[in-house]
Structure 1
């Protein structure tokens, strides 16, 4: 967690966790352990404030902007722990050709492999067909059930899977634009932008689909 990060709906800033010392550590440990026992999460974990960040290009084009979910920092810390515990199992169940969001993997490996395939087929005068798939708005389109079912298939701890289900089943968000706030809306699909575990959920779902 970085300092000076914007708070989520609970309005608790990241500074609280940096300055809280042993008291905040003890408190969070109790909360997290209780959650692991009951599989219930704080209501603020279901909520998100969505802001829009300009990337580049035409400011008047909505496609040049990216939504970011501002979520509770206590949620982020828990998901970071979950991610660390999940990485080993997830890594063991993904093939080497899946380089997305993995340590010691890079897209340059894919580029090198593709170049080798092209060179060898040209060398031996063999036919070659290459397909490229551009997953547009990938994080927004992932179905919630597909992520949790994918995690179950690779034997991720059921407690964590049920906690994820409880979070996404009741997920809501409000848009914050130019000091205006929208009504609360229910989020039926997609993983949260700005959540450290979202890339892992996406790769688990896409690997299960393919």
Structure 2
């Protein structure tokens, strides 16, 4: 069954929602973002989280020592990197489960079939494919062309992100066959997590065989 990650949790209400609905993963964003949380908040929220849900920390070009401090003190299960982190940087986290993000422009109609070659040699478990547009990535609420993935040699677990919703996630799963789907803005209303949207999204994913 496809795993589910609800990213960008920052309120006690968000924790209550996921504790009831039980996605597989949740994400705390430590990078600059409207969904950013600091270590203190992540520790408080994480302590209230159902033990069966794994915690993912999202970082962008953060100092290695600071990432390790946050990972240890917030009891993170997965470290997810969205910046320019290279192979040597990622190799410093060999005691952790690592996901690395790569953005795909929503305007692309074709894609270099070797685009994943560098990622495939990285010491990581999963690759997060997110949407970008003219240099801006993440949180766009728009998806790239999932059919482009059929040309890519993806050797890591695929975590599909970018523009997902309860309306399109079934199609996304059918085309991309991901390990997990990752959603944030698609389950929000007026910038905050919406219980009913999360519920509907999770139900749609788990209807898939």
Structure with larger Rg: 1
The structure whose residues are more often helix, as a share, is 1
Query: Normalising by the residue count of structure 1, what TM-score does the alignment of the two structures yield?
Result: 0.25
Structure ranking higher on relative contact order (CA contacts 8 Å, 6+ apart): 1
Query: Normalising by the residue count of structure 2, what TM-score does the alignment of the two structures yield?
Result: 0.25
